[in-house]
Chain A
C-alpha cells in the first residue's frame, strides 16, 4: 500500500500524534517550530489530496481495515478538500506569522501546552472533515471545540475568560443537540455511517423521530456555526482571543460546522424527506437575510476593530447560508465558494490586525488614528483584505458575490429582494471597512497608544509582514485565477445536490 492510500488517516493522525510531542519541547522556540512544521505537513497532505481529487479520485479509507458498515470509514471528496485546505492553510499562516505575537501574550512556560492545544484544534477540525461517520464527527467536533476553548482563553486579556465560558456553554449545547439528532436517527435506522443512513432513512422518513432529528441537528450545528441569532458567543470569543488564534479560528472554525450542516442536510435529509428542501429554505433564508443586515449594522457602529470584524463574520456566514438556502446548483456553489473566499479575506484582515497589535496596545478606532502612516505595509494588506470582503472585482470576494447574485437572479421576484439584500450588505461592508481605513489613514495621529516605549514606531516585524502579504496576495490571486476554488466548489455542490454521500 502506498503512502497516498493512507493520506486521509494521516491528515488527522499527524497533528493528533505530534501534539503530545510538542508538550515536551520545553526549550524556547522549539515548540513553535515543531507546531509550524506539523501544520505545514498537514497542509501538504491536504494539497496532495486536493490534487488527487481534482484528477477525479475520491479517497476512501477503512480505519483498521474494518469495512464501512461495521468499521469507521473516512472519506475525502471535493467539499472536504475545499475546507481542509482552509483549515490547514489558516493554521500554517497563523503559526508562521504569529510567533512574536504569541510570545508576547503567552508566557514561555505555557507555550508548549498552547501549541499542543493548537495542533489538537487542527486535528479535530481535520477529523470532522475526513470522517464519514456521524458519531465520529461528534467526537472530533468536541476534540476541536475543547482545544479551541483552551487556545482562546490562552492570552493575557482576562475578558477572554467569560467569553470562553459562554463559548463553552453554547458550543456544548450545540454539540449535544447534534448528538440527540444522531441518536434519534440511529434509533430509526440502526446505522451511523452517513452513506448507509441516506439509504435506510428512506423507509422511515415519514416517522416523527426523523423530523425531530433533522430539527435538532440543524439547530445544533447552526449554533456551532454561529448562524444568526445563535451567534452571540462569536464576537467576544474572537475579540479577546490571542491575535494569532483569532486569525486561525475566524478563517475556518465556523466553516467546518457549516460543512457538517450542509453535508448532513444534503446527503441524508434532502433526498429522502418530503418537502425538506422547502423547510430548509424557509427556516434558513430569513435567518441568513437577518444575519447579513443585523451583523453588518452592528459592525457599522462597533468601535473595537476585532469585534467589528467578528460581527462582519456573522454577516458573511449569512451570505453562505443564503447561497445554500436557495437549494440550487448555482446557489450552493456560491455558498461553498464564499466559504473559501471569506476565509481568505477574514484571515488576511485578522492577520493584519495581529501585525497592528504588535505596535498598538488598544485596538479601538479612536486610538488607532494615523496608524497607517506608521505602518503603511500592514494597513495596505488590510485594505486588500477589506476590498475582498466587500467584493470588489479583481479580488476573491467578487467571485462568490457574483455567483450569489447570479443564483438569486434565477429565483424570480424573491431573488430580486435577495439581490437587494446582498447589495445593501456589501454597501454596509464598504461603510464599516471605510471607518477603519479613515481612522488609520486619514485621522489625526494618536501618540498615546504604544505597547511599549521602544516599539512605538515603525512597521511590524518583517517576517510577520511577509506572511500577512502572502495572505493578501492569495485574495488577489484567487480573484483572477478562479479555476481551483470553482472546480472544488462546483464539483462539491453538484455532488451535494445529487445527494451523493
Chain B
C-alpha cells in the first residue's frame, strides 16, 4: 500500500535514473542530450506532484465562493521557469552538437576523442 501511495516518487526516481544512465552511458552526443532532457523532466514532475493536494482544485478563489481545498500553485510557477531553462539548455546543447558535426564530421564522442588525439 505504501508503495502505491508513493508511486509518483517512484516515477520521479526511475525517470531520473533513466535520464542519468543515458547521459553517462551513451556515446552519441544527441542521445546524451535526450537523456539530459529526461533527467530534467523527472525533476519537473517532482515539483508538480508535490504541489498537488488530493481533492484540491485550481487555486482560483472568487470573492463569494465558499472556502475550498486548492492545490499549491507555486511549484507549477517555479517549474515553468525551470522548463524555460531546460529548453534553453537543450537548444544550446544541440547548437554545440551542430558545430561539432561541422568541425569534426561526427557526433560520436569516441570519434571526436580519436580525432583530437595528438
B15-56 with Cβ < 8 A to chain A: 16, 20, 23, 29, 32, 36, 39-40, 43, 46-47, 50
Asked if A159 lies at the interface with its beta carbon under 8 angstroms from chain B, I say yes
- Convert B54-84 into 0s and 1s, putting 1 for each residue whose CB lies closer than 8 angstroms to a CB of A: 0000000000000000000001001001100
Asked if A169 lies at the interface with its beta carbon under 8 angstroms from chain B, I say yes
A120-161 with Cβ < 8 A to chain B: 135, 138-139, 142, 146, 149-150, 153, 158-159, 161
**B96 lies within 8 A of A161 (CB):** yes
**A162 lies within 8 A of B112 (CB):** yes
Asked if B14 lies at the interface with its beta carbon under 8 angstroms from chain A, I say no
**B88 lies within 8 A of A173 (CB):** no
In the assembled complex, the CB of A221 is this many whole angstroms from the nearest CB of chain B, namely 16
Question: Is chain A's interface secondary structure helix, strand, loop, or mixed overall?
Answer: helix
Report which of A150, A159, A168 forms a contact with B116, defined as CB distance below 8 A.
A159
Report which of B43, B50, B112, B113 forms a contact with A179, defined as CB distance below 8 A.
B43
In the assembled complex, the CB of B95 is this many whole angstroms from the nearest CB of chain A, namely 9
Residue tally, chain B, CB below 8 Å to A: 31
In the assembled complex, the CB of A165 is this many whole angstroms from the nearest CB of chain B, namely 5
**B47 lies within 8 A of A165 (CB):** no
Chain A residues in 8 Å Cβ range of B46: 180, 183
Chain A residues in 8 Å Cβ range of B47: 183
Chain A residues in 8 Å Cβ range of B32: 169
Chain B residues in 8 Å Cβ range of A149: 92, 96
The distance in angstroms between the C-alpha atoms of A142 and B23, with both chains bound, is 19
Report which of A146, A159, A165, A172 forms a contact with B97, defined as CB distance below 8 A.
A165
**B36 lies within 8 A of A172 (CB):** yes
In the assembled complex, the CB of A210 is this many whole angstroms from the nearest CB of chain B, namely 14
Chain B residues in 8 Å Cβ range of A138: 82
The distance in angstroms between the C-alpha atoms of A153 and B93, with both chains bound, is 11
**B40 lies within 8 A of A172 (CB):** yes
Chain A residues in 8 Å Cβ range of B16: 180
**B36 lies within 8 A of A158 (CB):** no
Chain A residues in 8 Å Cβ range of B7: none
Which residue on chain A has the smallest CB distance to residue B23? A169
Listed residue (A138, A139, A158, A176) with the most chain B CB atoms within 10 angstroms of its CB: A176
Asked if B104 lies at the interface with its beta carbon under 8 angstroms from chain A, I say yes
Asked if A256 lies at the interface with its beta carbon under 8 angstroms from chain B, I say no
The distance in angstroms between the C-alpha atoms of A158 and B50, with both chains bound, is 44
**B116 lies within 8 A of A146 (CB):** no
The distance in angstroms between the C-alpha atoms of A180 and B97, with both chains bound, is 27
Known: A161-B103, A168-B89, A176-B40. A153 touches B96 (CB 8 A): yes
The distance in angstroms between the C-alpha atoms of A274 and B85, with both chains bound, is 35
**B43 lies within 8 A of A168 (CB):** no
The distance in angstroms between the C-alpha atoms of A161 and B96, with both chains bound, is 7
Report which of A135, A168, A172 forms a contact with B96, defined as CB distance below 8 A.
A168
**A168 lies within 8 A of B82 (CB):** no
Known: A153-B99, A179-B43. A165 touches B29 (CB 8 A): yes
The distance in angstroms between the C-alpha atoms of A169 and B20, with both chains bound, is 10
The distance in angstroms between the C-alpha atoms of A179 and B75, with both chains bound, is 12
Which residue on chain A has the smallest CB distance to residue B101? A161
Pick 28 A–B contacts, CB within 8 A, sort by A: A149-B92, A150-B92, A153-B96, A153-B99, A161-B99, A161-B103, A161-B104, A162-B100, A162-B109, A162-B112, A162-B113, A162-B116, A165-B29, A165-B93, A165-B97, A165-B100, A168-B93, A168-B96, A169-B32, A172-B89, A173-B23, A173-B36, A176-B40, A176-B43, A179-B82, A180-B46, A183-B43, A183-B50
Q: Which 10 A-B pairs have the closest CB atoms?
A: A158-B103, A142-B85, A187-B50, A161-B100, A165-B96, A162-B112, A183-B47, A172-B89, A168-B93, A161-B99
